[in-house]
Amino acid sequence: MSRQSAATINFVLTAYAQGFANDLLQQQMVVNALCPTVPVSGASGGFKIFSDENSFRVYNTQRGLGGRARRIEFDATDGSFNCQPQALEVTIDDHERDLAAAGGNPVAGELLDQGKIRALINSTALSHYDKVVAFVIANTTAVADRGNWSNEDVDPIDQIDEQLEALSVDVGSVANINLVLSTSAWRALRNHKKTKARCSGVQVGGITREQLQSILMFPANVVIGAVSKLSSKLGQTTKTKANIVGGNAILTYSVPSPTPYDPSAFKCFTTGSGNVNAVRSYRDESARSDVHAVDWSEDIKATSTLAVKRLAVT
């Protein structure tokens, strides 16, 4: 007989995990700005690629009497997604349960389970955040001769405005634009003398995020990516951390409630809610512990090369 029992879906912890995942605002703000999640009914399907060939096509919608309606066409450049299974799990040792029960709290076991789930979802969210940012950077080319904000003669706001204008021409809109800045890029921008010169009156320090939004030529959702990760390998004595967004300023066009057929720059197709399909629980007898495993599936795709601009900030 196997010492590891069959896993079953834990519906109570699944609901808890999905709710907690949706509350991770800092990670979600950056991820949603760069690569919003698109829930899909099946693990595979098609999506529209908005490239120079078929982006923002204009249709003649007039229909003659007795005539047929013009259909939206999808050409051969349209892509397909194939969500791959993902999983991460956490254990609760029997000794942990004994210690929790010793306190006499009747809900101690439930609180222990919830605490482990929170730790698990935090790890899945951080891993997803890192994966999204790495994908976006790998699938974009930094605009040449821009982002050199250490140069006192360069105007960072003017450079961002330039990219905002280029992005608006490419996507045909000034709405739904996001600006994601790493902490180092944000520091370089807000403390630049040309940025400070734009502020009226007496102001101590650099501009605020809200002031930056009002200075830009078009309204943009400004998001500061402050999440870091350990860049050192497991077991190394010297621990080093790095900002996941790195030295980048990334502008994206991303519509609310995206579908497979809108021109957002990047999308994460998934069959789960908050990257949680289900929490499965099983007994691992060999380790003398209970195990909670989170399962989901996802496929990150670049869906519009027109809808993103990236500056490598130095």
Whichever domain contains 144, its CATH number is: 3.90.1690.10
The packing angle between helices 25-34 and 108-138, to 10°, is 30
Q: What angle do helix axes 108-138 and 94-102 make, rounded to 10 degrees?
A: 130
Q: CB of 37 within 8 A of CB of 272?
A: no
Is 110 inside any structural domain?
yes
In a domain, 281, yes or no: yes
The answer to whether 252 and 34 are in contact (CB under 8 A) is yes
Structural domain contains residue 272: yes
Confirm whether 91 is domain-assigned.
yes
How confident is the model over 126-140, as pLDDT tens digits? Answer: 899 999 999 999 999
* Helix or strand run (H / E) with residue 120: helix 108-138
Q: What is the pTM of this model?
A: 0.84
- Read off the pLDDT of residues 75-103 as tens digits, 9 standing for 90 and up: 557 889 999 999 999 999 999 999 988 87
The closest alpha carbon to 296, from 272, 279, 280, belongs to 272
231 domain-assigned? yes
What pLDDT score was predicted for residue 203? 55
The pLDDT confidence band at residue 6, using thresholds 50, 70 and 90, is confident
Q: Is residue 149 part of a domain?
A: yes
User: Which DSSP state fits 27?
Assistant: H
Using pLDDT thresholds of 50, 70 and 90, give the confidence band for residue 246: very high
pLDDT exceeding 90 applies to what percent of the chain?
Answer: 49
**Count of structural domains within the chain:** 1
Residue 70 forms part of a structural domain: no
The confidence band for 233, taking pLDDT boundaries of 50, 70 and 90, is: low
Residue 3 has pLDDT above 70, yes or no: no
| Domain membership flag for residue 15 | yes
Tell me, what's the pLDDT at 1?
43
- What is the three-class DSSP state of 269? strand
For residue range 22-67, what is the model confidence (pLDDT) as tens digits?
Answer: 777 666 889 999 999 998 888 999 998 887 655 566 778 888 888 8
> What is the CA angle 50-299-244, rounded to 5?
95
Q: Tens digits of per-residue pLDDT, 169-193?
A: 988 888 999 999 999 999 999 999 9
pLDDT average, residue stretch 251-262: 90
Q: What is the span of the domain harbouring residue 33?
A: 8-53+75-312
Distance CA 199, CA 220 (A): 18
The token pair that represents 255 in the structure block: 């519509």
pLDDT in tens, 271-289: 866 678 889 999 998 889 9
